[in-house]
Every structure is written in C-alpha cells, then in structure tokens.
Structure 1
Amino acid sequence: MEKDALKKTVFRTYPLNDDEWDAFANCWHPVRYKRKTVLTRAGDIEHYLYFVEDGVQRAFYLSEDTKETTLVFSYTGSFSGVVDSFQLQQPSRYYLETLTNSELLRISYPDFTRLLDEYPRIERWVRLASAQVLAGLLERQIELATFTAEEKFRILLTRSPHILQLIPQKYLASYLGLDPATFSKLLKLVRL
C-alpha cells in the first residue's frame, strides 16, 4: 500500500506510529472522477473526506439568485471535502465539484469515527489539523474583509504561484471576491 503523499501530509501535522498509520491508511480507498463532477450538493450530508492525489476541486456557495461564490480550492497533496458537513453529519450548505479529472483517496464517515474512537493519537491529529485549517480560514477572512483587491491578488499569487495554471480565472476572481474584469486588470498590471 503506497499512499506516500497522504502519509507525508498527515505526518507533517502529527506523526503516527506504525500501527496507527496502518489502521488509518487502510481506510482510504481510491476513486476517480471526471472534470466538472459534483461530489457533494448543498442539502446533502457529506459521507466522505478526500485526499487529492491528482486534480483540482473547488467548494462553492450558490446564493438564491444563483450567484456562485468560490470558497476554497483543493489540489494535489491536500485534503478535500465539505468538512463541516462530514464531521457534524449535517446537510451541507455548499457544493464540492471537480474542476479537472481527479484521482482521490476517500475515507467514509463510519471508518473515520471508528478510527477516532480506537486511536487517541489519530483523534489528536484530527484536532491539530482542524486547528490549522481554522487558523487559515480566519486569516483568509481578514484578507477578504480588510485588504484591497490588489493586496488580495498579490497574496494569492505569492502563496500559490502555480494557481493561475491550475484554475480558471473566473473561479479565482470569485475566490478573491472580485469581479472578473478587476481580476483581469490586476493580472495585466501586477508583477511579482
């Protein structure tokens, strides 16, 4: 069983011993999806947590006037899924879709909760990983609420310089809370 990228990502947050890692790794199963596949719909309960082996996904909110707002991207080497719906087993308010053909590993909610019950160190890893995600989301909230369009754009390209090659500009503009024309203008004006 390979799962080297998953192991590297998990151990970067909190290393597990061999027995814990084996139990954890055995619960992740490969799946493949074509581009533009909706994995989770608003109103559905998320049954899986994903790890991205290859591909790009996005979570987005669809308002009553059908305006899409991109919330987060996931790509190779990261976790994906509607995590709040997954962990709380409540209906999702968001959609999760693949932007490209995607090869993922996934773990089911029953396997996930069993691991947390049986392995305190895996539960600790989830707690630490969740705290890291929360810290990132709070930082992003500050950026969205207080930074100028150009500052948000510069931060995105500094943090993820490869993102322009992976994700269509309309989704990046939505993610930054910008209209596509402003994003296009910044793309021409800003040099890093």
Structure 2
Amino acid sequence: MKEQFLLNYINKHISLTKEEEEILLSKITYKKYLKGQYLVQQGDVCKYEYFILSGCTKTFYMDNDGQEHIILFAIEDWWTSDMGSFIAQKPADYNVQCIENTELIQISYEANEELYILIPKLERFFRKIVERALVASQKRIVRNFSMSAKERYLIFKENYPKIEQRIPQYMVASYLGITKEFLSKIKSQLALE
C-alpha cells in the first residue's frame, strides 16, 4: 500500500491513531504523472499539496523573456506545490513540473481544511513543515546575496546529494542563478583542487 509511505512519514513527526489514519487516507488521492507533466502551472490556482512517493519535480518561475528560474527541487518523502497559491487559493506564481515519472499522493485544499478540523494535530504537523520550508528559503536568499556561486554550489551538493545526480546540469545552474557554462567552470576548478 503506497499510502503507508505517507503514514510512516507523518508518524515520524506526530502519532496518529488507527482511526485518524483511516480518516486521513479517506481524504487523499494517489496519482502518477509522466516526466514533463505539470502539477501546477503559473496563473492557475494550486488545488493540491503533493507528497512525493517516487520521482522528482522542480518548482520554477518563468519570466517574461521565457527564462526559467528554478526555486526548488523535490524528491521522495518531500512535499511540493505552490504554497502561496495553495494557502490563499489565488493564481500560482510558480510552475511545478515533473523531471522524472512521478508517483505522489495529493491532498486537496478542501480535504486539507477538513483534516485540520477532524485531526487537529495535522495542522501542527503541516505548520512545522511550512516553518522548515520558510527557514530554508530565507537561508537560501541570504546565501544568494552573500556567497559566491562556487560556495552556493558546494552547499547545494552538500544539502542535496541525491538530487544532483538525477537532474541535468542546466537545472542545477538555474537553481544557483548562474549559466551552465559557469557551473561547468566551477566544477572544473573544484576538480583541480
């Protein structure tokens, strides 16, 4: 049962009774997406939060010149969505696209709100996830202002060792805010050190 992965993840943070697990499972949907498919598109309202069972996604902003700016990646046991759009039920600022064939569990906005009422400790659980995401985002902003591209790349490698091997280098470069040529130069320098 694929849903057990979600239950195991949640039970690492809070304890659910069997009855609460059954309520939760009644509110979720299992989905498969192909590489290249979108979970969320800029301008659409994000209707779901997604828990990744297998696969990899990228969250990115497409600017007016058609340039892609990758904000984050998500792999197994991670959550993804356009959180601002999901929470406010307003048009999304970001796209969330599958980089690999991806299996996930989705929870709709309505189901999520119901779950907060039916299982109050889930609200605390999701608050903790959002808090961790906010802290990571703030740290990334500071790194982008205060560190060199090489330093940012080394932190990316350290923090996300399982991701780098799974994604094309131009996506790593986009995440770091540099060109793929500059990333290649950084990697060449590191190989000589």
Shorter-chain TM band = over 0.9
Map 1:108-127; keep pairs closer than 5 Å: 108-127=108-127
For residues 188 and 19 of structure 1, what CA distance do their matches in structure 2 show?
A: 55
- CA shift for structure 1 position 118: 2.3
Structure 1 residue aligned with 2:40 = 40
Compared CA separation, residues 14 and 147, structure 1 to 2 (3 A): farther
1:79 aligns with 2:79: yes
Alpha carbons 1:9, 1:78 under 8 Å: kept: no
For residues 10 and 135 of structure 1, what CA distance do their matches in structure 2 show?
A: 20
Partner SS, residue 20 of structure 1: helix
For residues 144 and 11 of structure 2, what CA distance do their matches in structure 1 show?
A: 30
Q: What fraction of aligned residue pairs are identical, expressed as a percent?
A: 27
Gaps of at least 5 residues in structure 2 are none
Q: CA RMSD in A?
A: 1.7
TM-score (norm 1): 0.93
Structure 1 residue aligned with 2:67 = 67
Compared CA separation, residues 188 and 9, structure 1 to 2 (3 A): farther
Out of 11-20 and 60-69, give the one that drifted further: 11-20
**1:69-90, CA deviations, whole angstroms, 9 ceiling, x for partnerless residues?**
0001111111111121111101
- CA shift for structure 1 position 143: 1.3
Structure 2 residue aligned with 1:183 = 183
Q: How many residues align?
A: 192
**1:116-153, CA deviations, whole angstroms, 9 ceiling, x for partnerless residues?**
12221111111112111111111111111211111101
**1:39-76, CA deviations, whole angstroms, 9 ceiling, x for partnerless residues?**
21111001111111111111100111111100011111
Compared CA separation, residues 13 and 186, structure 1 to 2 (3 A): farther
Question: Which amino acid in 1 is paired with 2:138?
Answer: L
Map 1:37-186; keep pairs closer than 5 Å: 37-186=37-186
Partner SS, residue 13 of structure 1: coil
For residues 133 and 12 of structure 1, what CA distance do their matches in structure 2 show?
A: 17
Moved over 6 A (4+): none
Compared CA separation, residues 65 and 2, structure 1 to 2 (3 A): closer
Map 1:15-30; keep pairs closer than 5 Å: 15-30=15-30
Alpha carbons 1:56, 1:102 under 8 Å: kept: yes
Alpha carbons 1:50, 1:105 under 8 Å: kept: yes
